[in-house]
Each structure stands twice: as structure tokens, then as C-alpha cells.
Amino acid sequence: MWVWGLRPQRVQGRALAFRPASCVTPLAPHVIPRKPAVIARSMRGMETYMLHLTRRTFLTTLATAAVAIRPALAHGPTRQKVTQTVDIARTPEQVWAIVGNFDSIAQWHPMIASSPADKGNEIGSKRTITLKVEGAPSFEEELAKYDADEHSYMYRIEKVDPKVLPVTNYTSWFEVQANPAGGTTVEWRSAFYRGYPLNDPPPELNDAAAIKAITGVLRAGLDNIKVLAERVG
């Protein structure tokens, strides 16, 4: 055991006397005071560590920000919607008699040459649309909902050549309803994605091109329904 300020002198293993220590010895002799050079090296090491930690924190923050910003800078196509309507001076029943059958679209749409449906008005029926353009391109539309009492149906296009119709994942609703004026309003609305599913689409396959094409299809059909219905009298 040490006494504060004294060191025991031993002879042949026995403590004989105490003599003053040359300096005060701490009670925890394992703590050795560091020399200035050692302290300097330690400080430089601490500075290096802090610099590394700061750099790592900065890089982590930068990476997190990049992940957050990436969706805003580069994202895929968004779903587009187009709705067109026409008012007709006829009853809903008169209009439905013209447009109500799923396979009748070729009879009232000026862009379509033929539209046979393999199952008529049954859910799951597929009609083959053949267009009145060079090469007579065609594609299929599948009936998803049909309600004769409500004068409405819904259909989908699972696949179509974007050169024919610049859209993908196309869904459309067709409704014939009475309006307050005593006539009929036909509403045709569609939801779809552009024909080019990746980023940076060419002009002919971007959102604007898809919206323009679908708007033209719906508008041409509705305008001709009005002409046919009101001509019948």
C-alpha cells in the first residue's frame, strides 16, 4: 500500500522505512501524464477523425437528398384522362337504340370500318376494331361492364400498336343519360397512359399526343351520334 507522498523502502522483501517521494504520486499510478508531443499527435488524430466524420455525414446527407429528389426529376408517365360530351334532342331510349350494342360502334363512328364482337353484350366480349385508314389496322377492345337499364358500358384496350393509337392501359366509359333540358347527354370518358412508357418520350408518343388522339376519337364519335340521332326524328 502506498501512502500519499511516501514510498516504502524494502530490504529482502520487508518494508523498513518510508522516504519522501520525489513527487506526489497519484492513487491511480496507471494513469501516466502524456508528453506534449503525444498530446499533439492525439489532437491531430482527433481532428482527422472529426474531418472524416463530417465528410461521411455530408455524403450521407447528400445521398439522402439525391434519393428524395430523383422521383421529381425523373419519373415515368402519369395517367391521363379525357372526357367529352354531347347533348342530343332525343330521349335516352332513342339514342341507346343507336349506340347500345357493343358491336354497333362501326355504325355510328366515322373512323371505324367494322367492329364485330365475339360475345355480343356479354362481359368479356371482345370486339375487333378495324380503322378506315391505309392498311386497315385493327385492335381488340374487351367489354368489362354492361348495363342496359342504365344505358352504360365500360371497356378496355389491353394492347394496341402505338402507331395506330398512341396509348397504353386504356379504359373507357360510355354513358347515355337524360338531361334537364328534356333531351339526352352522351358522355364518353377515357383514362390511359401515353404510348411511350419510359422517360423522355418522342413527340408523337408523349402525353400531349395521346390526349390529342383520344380527344379526336371521342369527339368524332359523339358528333356523329348527334347527327344520326337527330336525323332519325
pLDDT tens string 21-54? 454 445 455 555 555 565 556 567 666 655 555 6
More confident residue, 66 or 127: 127
Query: In the beta sheet, which residues pair with residue 192?
Result: 80
Round to whole Å and give the CA distance between 11 and 141: 110
> Which class in CATH covers the domain with range 78-232?
alpha beta
Give the count of alpha carbons within 13 A of 22, CB side only: 0
| Helix intervals (H) in 146-206 | none
**pLDDT value, residue 177:** 98
- Cα angle for residues 106, 139, 192 (degrees, 5° grid): 100
Please report, for the chain, the start and end positions of each structural domain, with discontinuous segments joined by +.
6-72, 78-232
Look at residue 114 and give its three-state secondary structure: strand
pLDDT at site 1 = 42
pLDDT at 3: 41
Phi, psi of 202 (to 5 degrees): -65, 160
Quick one: CA torsion of 101, 107, 113, 118, rounded to 10 degrees? Answer: 20
Report the C-alpha dihedral over residues 86, 91, 97, 100, rounded to 10 degrees: 50
Give the Cα separation of 215 and 137 in Å (integer): 19
- The closest alpha carbon to 186, from 227, 141, 226, belongs to 226
Least trusted range by pLDDT, from 63-67, 99-103, 132-136, 227-231: 63-67
